[in-house]
Amino acid sequence: MTQTRTVTQARTETLPKDGEAAPLLELVETRARLGNREVLRGITFAVTSGEILGLVGPNGSGKTTALRCCYNALTPTGGAVLIDQVDSTTLSRKDIAKTISASVQEPTVSAGLSVRESIALGRTPHRSWLDRSTERDTAIVDRCIEQVGLVELAGRDVSTLSGGERQRVSIARALAQEPKVLLLDEPTNHLDLRHQLIVMELLAELASAGLAVVVTMHDLRLAVEYCDNLAVLTEGELRACGSTVEVLDEPLLAEVFGIKARVERGVRPRMEILGLA
C-alpha cells in the first residue's frame, strides 16, 4: 500500500465487482492522529454482510485506532470512512449507531446498573429520549442476554461481575443495538477457553445470519478458524489484506509476528505454531 494513492483510486480498487455484495463498512486510505503522532497512515479495508474481518497486528500497530475510526469515536485526519456507501462525516451519531455498534474496552458506563439494564442501553439509538421501551425492545434485550449466556446473571449489578462476564455484557449491549456491522475490540480477552469459543461461535452464527463483523484479535489461531478475511497492520500501515489463509503465509507470520507457523487449509482452517521465527 503506497502513500501516494488517492482516496478515489483506493476506493475504485475496493468497489464490488459484478455479483459481489457492496461493503457495509469501508475504510479508504484512512489516516488518524493521536496526540502529535500519526498512528494510522492510509488504511484501506472493507467488510460486507455475512463476513468476519479480523484486524490483527502486533501491539501498538493501530488496530484499536482503526476500529475507533469505524464508529466515529475518532475523526480521521485523512481518507474516508464509508458506512453503507455513505461518507460517515455526513451522518449523524444516531444514524451511525443504527448501522454500527461496538463492543470495546472502554471504562464501563454501566456502574450501578443491572446486567439487563446495561444491555438495554443498546436500544437507545432506536428511541427518542422520551420514549419508553416497547415489548419489542424487551424481546430483543432478552434474546441478547440469552445469546451471550447471561440469563442467570441478568439481575446482578454489573460492578459485581468478573472481567469475562463484563465482556459478555458489552457484546450483548452492542447486539441489542441491532447493527448491520458489529465491531469488537479483543472480545476474547479475559475469557476462559470455553467462553472464547462460545463468543467466536456466536460471531460465526451472527455472520451467517447476515451481520458484518470486524474484530481485533491477538490469538491468530482463533483468527484463522473464524475470520474469513484479515487486515494485517504494522506500525499504522496496512501490511496485507485479503482471505485469511492467503494472507497468513509463512514469510508474513515470521516478519510481522516473529513466529514460525503454518496454516492448514480446509473447511475449518487451522494454524500450527512451530516456534519462534
Interactions with ligand ADP, residue window 17-76 (CB under 6 A): 34-35, 37, 39, 57, 59-65
C-alpha cell at 168: 459478555
Buried b (16+ CB within 10 A) or exposed e, 84-116: beeebeebeeeebbbbbbbbbbeeeebeebbbb
**Longest Cα pair distance anywhere in the chain, in angstroms?**
58
- By C-alpha distance, which of 203, 154, 163, 146 is closest to 179? 203
Nearer to ligand ADP, 104 or 200 (CB): 104
- Bridge partner residues of 103 (DSSP): 184
Sheet holding 212-216, edge to edge: 100-103, 181-185, 212-216, 52-56, 229-234, 237-243
Nearer to ligand ADP, 100 or 232 (CB): 232
CB of 50 to ligand ADP, least distance (A): 25
242 phi and psi angles, rounded to 5 deg: 155, -160
Strand pairing report for 229-234 and 52-56: parallel
Interactions with ligand ADP, residue window 84-113 (CB under 6 A): none
Total residues in contact with ligand ADP, by rule CB under 6 A: 12
Nearer to ligand ADP, 17 or 37 (CB): 37
Nearer to ligand ADP, 64 or 170 (CB): 64
CB of 55 to ligand ADP, least distance (A): 8
CB of 236 to ligand ADP, least distance (A): 7
CB of 66 to ligand ADP, least distance (A): 7
Nearer to ligand ADP, 73 or 121 (CB): 73
Chain residues binding ligand ADP by CB under 6 A are 34-35, 37, 39, 57, 59-65
